[in-house]
Amino acid sequence: MPDEEPSLNIPSLLTLAVVSFFVIRWFFKRDGESGAPGSRSRPRGNVVDPAQVEQISQMFPQLSTRDIMWDLQRNGGNVAATTERILTGRGLDTPPPSFQPLVAIPPTGVPPQPAPVSKSDGQDLISRYNLAAKIVDTSEAESTAKPGGWSQNKEERQRLLQKRRDDMILAARRKMMQKEQGSAQ
Amino acid sequence: MSSMTQNRLFREYKTLSENPPDGITAGPVSEDDMFHWEALIQGPEGTPYEGGVFAAELKFPKDYPLSPPTMKFVGGGVWHPNVYPNGTVCISILHPPGDDPNHYEHASERWSPIQSVEKILISVMSMLAEPNDESPANVEAAKMWRERRAEYEKKVREEVRKGLGL
C-alpha cells in the first residue's frame, strides 16, 4: 500500500465551506431585514466594509487584502461573489496601481460600534498568560539567567519559550511598579 | 505538504530562541501548528510605550516566505496611528512588493522572502517609536498624535499600565 493516508479530501471541504458560507449569509441577511431600520447602515457604492474584507481574508489568509478590496468594490460589496470566485479557482484580479480603497470608517464623534468581542479583548497580559500566581513570588527572584535557549526536546522548547515570555512580562511589571513607587516618593 | 514553509519557520524559531533580539520574544503557540505564532514586543525607550510589553499574534500563509504573515496585537490592541482598532498592524514590511497602495514605500521596505520574522518584529518596534502619519490605519489615533500629542501620550501610558495588569 502506498503511504497516502485517506486524509480529508479537498472537494468535500470546499463544499462544506461554500454551504456554511451561504447558511451564515442567509442568517445575517434575515437578521438585517428584521433588525431596526438604520441600525447599521450598510456601506453602499464604492466603499469597502472592513468587516467584509476581514471576513474574506480570514477564510483565505494567503490573499492580499488589496485584491480582496478591489473585488469587493467592483461587485458592490458582495462577499458571496468574491468567495465564489476564489473557490472556483478563478482567483482575484490585481487592482490597478491607481486603486485607492475607500474604507468605510465609523463616523467620528459617535462611539465606535461594539466590535465583535474576541476572546482576549481588553485582557491584560497577566490574565492572558495566567501569571497572577507568579506575581507575588518573583519579587526577589531577579535571576538574570542568560536569555534565550534551545533544546532538542519539543516539550522543553515549549517550556523555555513560555518561561521567557512570562519573565519578560513579570520583569516589565516589576520595573513599572518600582518606577511608580520611586516617583511617588 | 508545505514542508519547506514549516522548515523555514522552524529555523526562524530556532534562531530567535538562541539569539533573541533585545525586547523580543517570539515562537509558535504550539509546535503542532507552525503557522500560528505569538510574539511579545517591548515598548521602545523614550516613547510613551516605554516599559510596556505588547502581545501580538502572527499568522503565516501556506506559501510563506513568498507571502508575508499578518500581525495583530491582542488583548485590546495598541493605540497607534499604524495599528487598526482591531489590533492589525499596517506597515510596509508586511505588504508584498506588488502591493503599494500609496506609492511611497520603497520596494526594499516591503515584504520579500529575504525578510524574516525577526525583521518584522524589529520594524514594528521602530514603528511604535515613529508612527507613519501618511497612511493611518487608525484615523482617530493619527489625529490625536498629530494634534493633541500630550493626550495621545497619556492614553498610551494608561494602556501600557493596564496591559501589565496594574
Residues B72 and B87: beta-carbon distance below 8 Å: yes
- Which residues in chain A have their CB less than 8 angstroms from residue B76's CB? 121-124
% of chain A exceeding 70 in pLDDT? 67
Q: B20-61 pLDDT, tens per residue?
A: 999 999 999 999 999 999 999 999 999 999 999 999 999 999
Closest CA to B65 of B2, B129, B112, B124: B112
Q: Which of residues 105-124 of B touch A (CB under 8 A)?
A: none
Continuous segment of H or E residues that includes residue B24: strand B24-30
More confident residue, A45 or A178: A178
- Which residues in chain A have their CB less than 8 angstroms from residue B91's CB? none
Continuous segment of H or E residues that includes residue B36: strand B33-42
Q: Could you tell me the three cell numbers for A63?
A: 490573499
Domains and their CATH numbers in chain B: 4-164 (3.10.110.10)
More confident residue, B121 or A40: B121
Told to judge if B157 belongs to the known catalytic residues of this protein, a careful annotator would answer no
Question: Residue B78 half-sphere exposure, CB side, CA atoms within 13 Å?
Answer: 32
Indicate the pTM of the whole model. 0.62
Q: B67-93 pLDDT, tens per residue?
A: 999 999 997 779 999 999 999 999 999
Q: A84-122 pLDDT, tens per residue?
A: 888 887 778 888 877 777 766 554 544 444 444 444 456
Distance from CA of residue A169 to its chain's centroid? 22
pLDDT over 80 at B156, yes or no: yes
